[in-house]
Chains A and B, each alone.
Chain A
């Protein structure tokens, strides 16, 4: 008899998860379907690009630089044991381009732009601003979501490229300035290590992460009113937390899936 409550519990959560996935898929589909009919989309796209691009620049540059610096230090001491310091550029570039660049940049963007988006939409939902759009006959998906998704497709790859560039510079600073590796050795290793396939992997990941995380953050913020047991400011807080946590997990899961296609 004990199994029945357990089965009920599992069944309820399984159904709820499937329902949530369906809702998320529909939400994304609506946002994309709204693009052709969206009015003055470019203006909103530029504003969203500013939110995900310019505003997130400092954190991308700082985290990218220190990631490169640490990779340079750690890599140099590991390679030095085998007398292969000359491969430092290879190690830093492949690590950054294939994995750390897209993943860390996406996590930073989730933390800054994604959380801000979820909170903004949650507040707009609570203060009936989204309902106001509906009463005006404005497609709220086209106005609020579509430009952000389009912007993510551009902003994430660009931010990732910056992250990787600054990271490579950080690796060079560690290896050359601090540890004495010749800059030419480092940069020529970088040049030899990277091929177009690595770049394709990097930008594919960045684009997919951008699309998934911005959609998920928007989804949670947009549906703040559907959260059970919490209302008002606590609902906004809960929606933002969910958005950031789930997006971060989604980035790592999607990273594994995309990597398995490229290796």
Chain B
């Protein structure tokens, strides 16, 4: 029985008539990197927000370190959890240093000098020490991502949730972000849950992989098991590049090919 830091059981979430999550489960062992894969619009980000307590599920439960998250435990959970938003969600009116210092200033009683030292240390660890007085709008996309990570880890959380950290990035930057996650996960020892579309990269950096489909986890296991799975949805997702090649080749030969509206 692995030492679980986070466990989601039967999470249901709907928006009006639209059922997004229909009993999603996930187990996250302590110290591991878990990737949640899935097509666009399957509710991966909603699931992550339910894990973080930003959205309240209609039913089901999320347990962190053995405790069910509810109104009494959520605040302490949030202090032990970092969250990296897809668009970084940095405060554009604050400097890089102020952004990183914000969670320390607002959730701890540390003196100002220590807050500043710890924020500077986080910036230094992520190679942003020379940009501490710049505003997020003055930084490149990669720097903003690192700044968001610095803010997420400055409180030394046990768990960091990554919401599509590579969305909209080119392959080189995508690799750089995954490398960054792998590097700092080792360096700081946090447990990571990554929501992503990038199958190949996720399989490399993750200890476990889950595939969300139709509101439930279609697959949950090791990257090796994912690669070997005979499940049609898993195969469709995993072998999408090969399938694309076959479809385009068929179209070039003038044959009919199955085509799905994106």
**Contacts from A to B (Cβ < 8 Å):** 39-40, 120, 124, 127-129, 131-139, 143
Which chain B residue shows the least CB distance to A138? B106
Which chain B residue shows the least CB distance to A143? B106
Q: Name B107's contact: one of A129, A132, A137 (CB within 8 Å).
A: A137
Query: Given the complex, which residues of A lie within 8 Å of B78, measured CB to CB?
Result: 134-137
Which chain B residue shows the least CB distance to A136? B103
* Cβ B89 vs Cβ A128 within 8 A: yes
- Closest 9 pairs (CB-CB, A-B): A137-B78, A135-B83, A132-B89, A128-B89, A138-B106, A136-B103, A137-B79, A137-B107, A135-B52
Q: Given A134-B78, A135-B81, A136-B78, are A40 and B105 neighbors across the interface (CB < 8 Å)?
A: yes
> Please, could you name 9 A-B residue pairs with CB atoms under 8 Å apart, sorted by A?
A39-B105, A129-B92, A132-B85, A135-B81, A135-B161, A137-B78, A138-B103, A138-B106, A143-B106
C-alpha gap A70/B102 in the complex (Å): 48
**Closest CB in chain A relative to B145 CB, distance in Å:** 14
Interface string of B108-125 (1 = CB under 8 A from A): 010000000000000000
C-alpha gap A39/B109 in the complex (Å): 8
**Closest CB in chain B relative to A52 CB, distance in Å:** 16
Max chain B CB contacts within 10 Å: which of A40, A138, A139?
A138
Interface string of B69-98 (1 = CB under 8 A from A): 000000100110111010101111100000
**Contacts from B to A (Cβ < 8 Å):** 49, 52-54, 75, 78-79, 81-83, 85, 87, 89-93, 102-103, 105-107, 109, 151, 155, 161
Query: Given the complex, which residues of A lie within 8 Å of B103, measured CB to CB?
Result: 136-138
* Cβ A136 vs Cβ B106 within 8 A: yes
C-alpha gap A128/B54 in the complex (Å): 11
Given contacts A128-B87, A132-B91, A138-B106, 13 further A-B contacts (CB under 8 A): A39-B106, A39-B109, A120-B93, A127-B87, A131-B54, A132-B83, A134-B78, A135-B83, A136-B78, A136-B151, A137-B75, A137-B79, A137-B107
Query: Given the complex, which residues of B lie within 8 Å of A128, measured CB to CB?
Result: 85, 87, 89
C-alpha gap A131/B83 in the complex (Å): 10
Query: Given the complex, which residues of A lie within 8 Å of B90, measured CB to CB?
Result: 129, 132
**Closest CB in chain A relative to B194 CB, distance in Å:** 16
C-alpha gap A135/B157 in the complex (Å): 12
**Closest CB in chain A relative to B126 CB, distance in Å:** 17
**Closest CB in chain B relative to A243 CB, distance in Å:** 19
**Closest CB in chain A relative to B34 CB, distance in Å:** 18
* Cβ A129 vs Cβ B75 within 8 A: no
* Cβ B107 vs Cβ A136 within 8 A: yes
* Cβ B102 vs Cβ A138 within 8 A: yes
C-alpha gap A259/B90 in the complex (Å): 45
* Cβ A135 vs Cβ B106 within 8 A: no
Max chain B CB contacts within 10 Å: which of A120, A129, A136?
A136
Query: Given the complex, which residues of A lie within 8 Å of B82, measured CB to CB?
Result: 135-136
**Closest CB in chain B relative to A223 CB, distance in Å:** 16
Query: Given the complex, which residues of B lie within 8 Å of A124, measured CB to CB?
Result: 91
* Cβ A138 vs Cβ B89 within 8 A: no
Query: Given the complex, which residues of A lie within 8 Å of B91, measured CB to CB?
Result: 124, 129, 132
Query: Given the complex, which residues of B lie within 8 Å of A133, measured CB to CB?
Result: 106
C-alpha gap A135/B77 in the complex (Å): 9
**Closest CB in chain A relative to B15 CB, distance in Å:** 12
C-alpha gap A101/B201 in the complex (Å): 64
Q: Given A127-B87, A128-B85, A129-B91, are A135 and B107 neighbors across the interface (CB < 8 Å)?
A: no
Q: Given A128-B87, A129-B89, are A134 and B54 neighbors across the interface (CB < 8 Å)?
A: yes
Which chain A residue shows the least CB distance to B77? A137
C-alpha gap A136/B99 in the complex (Å): 12
Query: Given the complex, which residues of B lie within 8 Å of A134, measured CB to CB?
Result: 53-54, 78
Which chain B residue shows the least CB distance to A137? B78
* Cβ A40 vs Cβ B106 within 8 A: yes
C-alpha gap A132/B49 in the complex (Å): 11
Query: Given the complex, which residues of A lie within 8 Å of B106, measured CB to CB?
Result: 39-40, 133, 136, 138-139, 143
C-alpha gap A127/B107 in the complex (Å): 22
* Cβ A131 vs Cβ B85 within 8 A: yes
C-alpha gap A137/B83 in the complex (Å): 11
* Cβ B89 vs Cβ A136 within 8 A: no
C-alpha gap A135/B82 in the complex (Å): 7
Q: Given A132-B83, A137-B107, are A127 and B89 neighbors across the interface (CB < 8 Å)?
A: yes
C-alpha gap A133/B83 in the complex (Å): 10
